[in-house]
Amino acid sequence: MCKILIPLLALLISSPSIADEGMWLPHLLKSLNESEMQSKGLKITAEDIYSVNESSLKDAIVALNGGGCTAEMISSEGLMLTNHHCVDNLLQIHSTVENNYLEDGFWAMSKSEELKNENLSATFLISIEDVTSLFKDSLSIELSEAERNKKISEISKKIVSEKTDSTSYSARVKSFYGGNDFYLITYVTYKDLRLVGAPPSSIGKFGGDTDNWMWPRHTGDFALLRIYTAEDGSPADYSVDNIPYKPKHHLPIQLGGVENEDFTMIMGYPGRTNRYLTSFGVKEALEITYPEIIDIRTKKLDIMKSGMNSSKEIKLQYAAKYSGIANYWKYFIGQSKGLKSMRVYDKKVKTENMLKLWIDSSNTDIKEKYGNTMQILEEAYEKNTKVALNRTYLTEAIFQGPEILSFSYTMKNRINALPKDKEAKSQAIRKLKKLAKEFYKNYNAKVDEDMLSAMLEMYYYNVPKHQHSKIFKKIENQLFGIKKLDFNYYAKNLFNRSYFSSEENCLRLLKNPSKLLVEKDPAYLTFSSIYNKYLEELYPIRKEVRDLQKKGNRLFISALREMDTIKKFYPDANSTMRVTYGNVRDYKPGEAILYDYYTTINGVIEKEDPTNEEFIVPEKLKELYKAGDFGRYSDNDGNLRVNFISNNDITGGNSGSPVINAWGEIVGTAFDGNWEAMSGDIAFEKNIQRTISVDIRYILFVIDKYANASYLIDEMTLAPIRE
């Protein structure tokens, strides 16, 4: 029976790898994907994409700050392209109310005008090596998860040390396929990055929250940075003596654009997917996690928006914060709808039932190895129901809620760690004062006081009462017997008494920082009361859950791969470089609806609404449109294309990734996905999932015609236009 069943199951749960699905490891393209990619239209080789010994496309791809966003080299002088939304926090830091780069844009007209940035890095991949064999003998199935983790850490440290000793490289051993495979990944990181240019938000964020995740889009979501190095080309901290970085490879610009069905490839650093998530995880997300995240973020956004509408200063302070919260607020709404409409839960159950059937019909070794896999996962998620709601509120409403709470926690830890040596302590205090100044630059006490009141109230009424910390009893009793709960009163009182409610108060504390004073501060007391309750009573449960989930997931993925030896499996995204390939393609989001594969500047003008800040069109852009002054950036019909879509497989972290054509030339920059396929991080939907990208011609048009920064175009390599 087993011999007949296995091929049948293979047909049921998988099909040959689909070009548009999959976030593939670049060093495995030669063995897994090259022939298929070339059959789809690729004109270069896997070696041209990833090579350790020769210049290749990987050498043009950058992880910004180690992940979170991707960027790409587009000149031999260190010029780097990414998304506007990846640098909006930098624009905010450099801005003032009088000189608002978020609103007005910024353009350096020479290298001397470029703006330096602290705590910003550009990381390049050097190599990926399979080191799984070095772990196999040490990771027996009898080990507990704690023992397994300890052994992995010991072996990883040894491998990394041997790789990086006497080099300027960094390295990490990362696990893949749920912890079944291990790869040593080596990087080099540069820390002198300068802001070169960014359009105003009316271009870079055109459409705002309304158009976010939607198609058709008309957004010029791009920005430019430049990497600098020491004179010998090595990584160096900022210095006026540094020189522009000379990359091993930079992407040529293709002004010929793309047409429907053209081959496209995206390289970048996708953050996280959960394609192997089981039905238990989908159910938990839909019934517990996502609804609460959406409710909490809705309240946070309302409070921020109210403050931002009250003054230009608050609007500037909270613009990047608001955008970050809103982006994934809408994402969770869309993903919830997508998971339901695509019946992802039912599909997961079907796969799990087939896996159980395969295990039950297999030999004794398979049964012993995988027989309790689904029971382990079911037990893990059942236990997690006791802590999932609390963890969601702890993360969203406390750690990521009122900033005064998390900042008090940060300062307490920093003050506790102050050295005893007088000179070293004085230097550390200066750093703390600098940290405080940076924090309060983008902080409004009234907004945060409202946030504290609202988040404590939501926590109180939604988290089970037996999981409440003592601070809520204090809130209940604060009005001396009056039964009405008043979270506004508590928040106001806290802000009146806390050292962390203003820069002035905080700097007064830092004149002679005291651990005792911080521990008595009402902001820290509130935070520590809630957090300690979780650590003492719920974290042990969560730790047990996490261990069960890790073990169950590892067995689940291993069983899938062992059951189906025909399918080419790709690992979930984990902020390591990936390659995805597919085609430019229109799509049908519903009956009698067909979405074209590109948009033009005509749509920008059609959407204009001077009364809505999301749809304001800059005067100069309108003048260029009226004049039809698109130059060499127009398509064959004389239109200026703005965005296009392809069926490439991306997720968060791919923001800023280059869209590359069949010849290895950049044709666009990815910045979003489409609303109808928001379940994509858990289940890829090949018929409707699309990546939304800025056409490289619109980017160059804005740089050249709008910003008059043509000197930047001059340093790029323009590829011959392909017919």
Catalytic residue positions, numbered? 85, 221, 655
Q: What share of the chain is helix, strand, coil (3-state, %, to 5)?
A: 50, 15, 35
Whether 687 and 717 have beta carbons less than 8 Å apart is answered as no
Choose among 207, 196, 220, 208: nearest CA to 84. 220
**Token pair for 276:** 């192997």
DSSP state, residue 401: S
Whether 169 and 186 have beta carbons less than 8 Å apart is answered as yes
The one-letter amino acid code at 436 reads: A
DSSP state, residue 584: B
d(CA 112, CA 363): 70
The three-class DSSP label of residue 244 is strand
Whether 600 and 673 have beta carbons less than 8 Å apart is answered as no
Among the residues of 165-253, which ranges form H helices?
201-204, 208-211
DSSP state, residue 681: G
Residue linked to tokens 């709601």: 389
Strands 223-229 and 181-190: unpaired
d(CA 91, CA 4): 62
d(CA 558, CA 177): 8
The three-class DSSP label of residue 715 is coil
**Token pair for 572:** 């979930």
CA 382 to chain centre: 29
d(CA 212, CA 720): 34
The three-class DSSP label of residue 632 is helix
Whether 58 and 125 have beta carbons less than 8 Å apart is answered as yes
d(CA 660, CA 253): 9
The three-class DSSP label of residue 103 is helix
Among the residues of 236-372, which ranges form H helices?
279-284, 290-310, 312-341, 344-360, 364-370
Distances (CA, A) of 342 to 338, 347, 402, 689: 6, 9, 36, 12
Distances (CA, A) of 664 to 70, 253, 264, 266: 17, 9, 9, 10
**Token pair for 196:** 């070169």
Planar angle of CA 267, 272, 275, nearest 5 degrees: 100
Choose among 63, 85, 44: nearest CA to 267. 63
DSSP state, residue 115: E
Planar angle of CA 193, 198, 199, nearest 5 degrees: 180
The three-class DSSP label of residue 129 is strand
Choose among 122, 128, 127: nearest CA to 63. 122
Q: Specify which residues 176 forms β-bridges with.
A: 181
559 Cβ contact partners less than 8 Å away, ≥ 6 residues apart? 355, 358, 359, 369, 370, 373
Whether 218 and 212 have beta carbons less than 8 Å apart is answered as no
Phi, psi of 646, deg, nearest 5: -145, 165
Whether 79 and 712 have beta carbons less than 8 Å apart is answered as yes
What sign results for the dihedral spanned by CA atoms 482, 483, 489, 493? Answer: positive
